[in-house]
Amino acid sequence: MKRFLCLALCCALMLPVAGLASGVDVSSLDDTALEALLDAVLAERLARREFASFLLEQGEYRIGVDVPAGAFRVVHEGLSYITDITVYDSPGDSYGSFYGQVARQGEGFSVSDEIGRLVLSDGGVLKVTSGSARFFADAGGVRFE
């Protein structure tokens, strides 16, 4: 009787492992659930990356999914003269919570070549409408080389 109980217990413990081996069945998900799962996977992948900086070209990026949330020092980089950056608190917003420009250094523009501290909040949208910029992780005013 004890042997049978031990065998039954071992089989019961093996069932969850066998279920995990089959993978995730996404065919039963509707489009909304599938997009939510994709966003969660991209956010987790982004959270696992270690970086000192990242370069953004012209485009629209979801904060917390495409780019990390946090505080950043933004520096102009690339061939364009000026980079336009707009941050929206949520995807449907018409007006940005931040609009700024960074310019190529030494070109005589009245625009700075860097934004000292730009906070990107999770769930927002970051738009780079022209040029490109490098985002450095901000360490509270301390710069690490």
* pLDDT score, position 12: 63
Give the pLDDT confidence of 5-14 residue by residue, as tens digits.
555 665 666 6
What confidence tens digit (pLDDT) does each residue in 47-62 have?
Answer: 776 778 899 999 999 9
Tokens 């066998």 — which residue?
Answer: 18
What's residue 141's pLDDT? 53
For residue 18, pLDDT beyond 50: no
Each residue of 104-131: pLDDT tens digit?
Answer: 877 667 778 788 888 899 899 999 999 9
All domains of the chain, ordered by start, with CATH?
51-145 (2.60.120)
On average, the pLDDT of the chain sits at 79
pTM of the predicted model over 0.75? no
Rounded to 5 degrees, φ, ψ at 81 are -80, -40
Token couple for 77: 């980089």
The closest of 107, 119, 60, 45 to 81, measured between CA atoms, is: 107
